[in-house]
A and B are shown apart, each in its own frame.
Chain A
């Protein structure tokens, strides 16, 4: 059970480290990246449920980011596989329920269900990949500040920053408690409920005490209920060019069937 905690701790740290790198993408204003990611996701999910071919060119965007920002591809892929079960579980019903043959590929009959299943998995890869790349190239504090600039309530942004600050502290505390329990429980596989209750209760009490100490420390540093976020943002030509070019590309890919044109061109079929 502490394995999940360890991986969570590792993941948070790893993504944080990736965001510290220096690359043309990292240097962009976070607002440009947040908005471009949102546009990308909306365009990807707006396709018809049986669409496969026209989703493929959209991989250009994550490929560009992986390349320009030097994000480890294997790590990204592993994370995608780890979170895929829910979508896989819901999507797998499509080939079972929707068996109508809509397409023949040589001897192979392909049903509508398989098409929509593949489409769901492609959407999943693209949207989740975009979210992971956003955090890996921007970093959480920068995203929070971009959100404030984009009109998200300040209290919420401060809450996000506070949460992020204390997640590391509390996960460490949690790992320590679990380790202490494991050492004293003769390698029992799972924790019984009465232990779980006391363990989490104690952790909560410690958390509340910690919050009180933090509050005292903040008060002694002239905290009046508002956190001032000072950070220079520059939304310059680079950001405009980045946003405009990708938005234009997504729009073209969404409304023109580029894949069909290229495919016909290669195969020599008359349009």
Chain B
């Protein structure tokens, strides 16, 4: 459920980026303050473990399909929330760069959805409450499943909200929600069972690993809950304010240029245009060639954007021309670079 650049508007992308940047700075300070330099190689290695583990699938009995580990909750259980958030953020960054999962603008949203929610909300509020810092097998299983299910439900809700506020897709909010939530209920269950399986294995084999993190993080759990709630409220508030703003002015860049230039599209200089016109009248291949576009009155309810820009034939012809020139230039550059 990686969010993608293509579905995001710059405003939503920027809001999620700033929320994530703040969280990363906060987590980094916390990890540095703990002064436990053992954590640095541990975070690197466990992050790489999650990376590799995500590629191993197991059979889900009776369905014929397969599932795998997401890792957010497991990291929080092993490393504590701050280090887990940083580790997961690094895993997502590598995935965005190397495997093009999501994209660079959507990275902020992805780290928020898959990192903040399991590490800062579900781990302290659900997992720790259910297990009560005891390494009881049943509690660990129940806590992991419950926390993972809630984390994935909130995560997919966040994806739906971010997509909705970006308004690039035509999907209505409710039908997108009805499509996403049940799928992620199943994914959350699988994630919870996988996490519970690994945690209970570690419980039996090397319980001291888990005891260490339980003691390390329990001391600061109260203040940390407060911080998490405050941050969540702040995120939603900024999100709400920004999206209200962006829906009034659907395109921030357009709006700002309108303020500067006085018209939505700054007009090119007149002199150049008139000379071009003269040349064009002499050289044009298809002088009386035009396409019929529907009258604007036939589509009154839709946005004005179809008619004034983007969909004109000349735009497409020009665009294709520039595209083919670009590709040609690319190939030529490639040829010349090889020679040198």
Find residues 233-267 in chain B having any chain A CB closer than 8 Å to their own CB: 250-254, 257, 265-266
Q: Is B222 part of the contact surface with A, judged by Cβ < 8 Å?
A: no
Evaluate contact between A199 and B56: CB separation under 8 angstroms.
Answer: yes
B126 interfacial by beta-carbon distance below 8 Å? no
Determine whether the beta carbon of A52 is less than 8 Å from that of B319: yes
* Nearest neighbor of A128 in chain B, beta-carbon distance: B100
Query: Contact at B105–A42, with CB atoms within 8 Å?
Result: yes
In the complex, identify which listed stretch (B116-124, B130-138, B146-154, B161-169) lies at the interface while the others stay far away.
Answer: B161-169
Is the Cβ of B169 less than 8 Å from the Cβ of A132? no
| Interface 0/1 of B93-121, CB less than 8 Å to A | 11011111101110000000000000000
Q: Within the assembled complex, what's the spacing in Å between the Cα atoms of A131 and B4?
A: 12
Q: Check A215 against B42 for contact (C-beta < 8 Å).
A: yes
B227 sits at the interface (CB 8 A): no
| Interface residue? A204 (CB, 8 A) | yes
A174 at the interface (CB under 8 A from B): yes
Given known contacts A167-B94, A170-B49, A260-B315, is B197 in contact with A196 (CB within 8 Å)? yes
CB distance from A121 to the nearest CB of B (A): 7
- Within the complex, what minimum Cβ distance (angstroms) separates A135 from chain B? 5
The reply to whether A196 and B194 form a contact with Cβ atoms under 8 Å apart is yes
What class of interface size applies to chain B in its complex with A?
35 or more
Nearest residue (CB) in B for A270 is B277
Bound complex: CA of A11 vs CA of B101, how far in Å? 13
Known contacts being A90-B163, A102-B294, is A162 close to B205, with CB within 8 Å?
Answer: no
A215-B38, A255-B257 are contacts. A67–B337 as well, Cβ < 8 Å? yes
Cβ-based interface call for B224 (8 A): no
The contact of A98 among B10, B51, B170, B318, by CB within 8 Å, is B170
Q: Is the CB of A225 within 8 A of B37?
A: yes
Given A45-B10, A163-B51, verify A155-B86 contact (CB < 8 Å): yes
Q: Within 8 Å CB of B338, what residues of A? A: 70
Give Cα A102–Cα B298 distance, bound, in whole angstroms. Answer: 9
Q: Indicate whether A70 sits within 8 Å of B334 (C-beta atoms), given known contacts A48-B305, A155-B86, A266-B284.
A: yes
A230 within 8 A of B: no
B221 interface hit (Cβ, 8 Å): no
**Complex interface: chain B residues within 8 A of A69 (CB):** 337
A102 to B55, CA, bound (A): 44
Chain B contacts for A41, CB-based, 8 A = 5, 103-105
Give, as a whole number of angstroms, the nearest-CB distance from B141 to chain A.
Answer: 12
Complex CA gap A52/B316 in Å reads 8
Q: Are A124 and B6 in contact (CB under 8 A)?
A: yes
A63, B58: Cβ atoms closer than 8 Å: no
CB <8 Å contact, A120 and B168: yes
**Chain B residues closer than 8 Å to A4, beta-carbon distance:** 55, 57
CB nearest to B51 among chain A residues? A167
Q: Is there contact, CB below 8 Å, between A257 and B49?
A: no
Chain A contacts for B289, CB-based, 8 A: 267-269
> Contact between A203 and B52 (Cβ–Cβ < 8 Å)?
yes
What are the residues of chain B within 8 A of A255 when measuring CB–CB? 253, 257, 265-266
| 8 residue pairs A–B, Cβ–Cβ below 8 Å | A153-B25, A156-B90, A162-B40, A167-B94, A190-B66, A193-B58, A258-B318, A263-B317
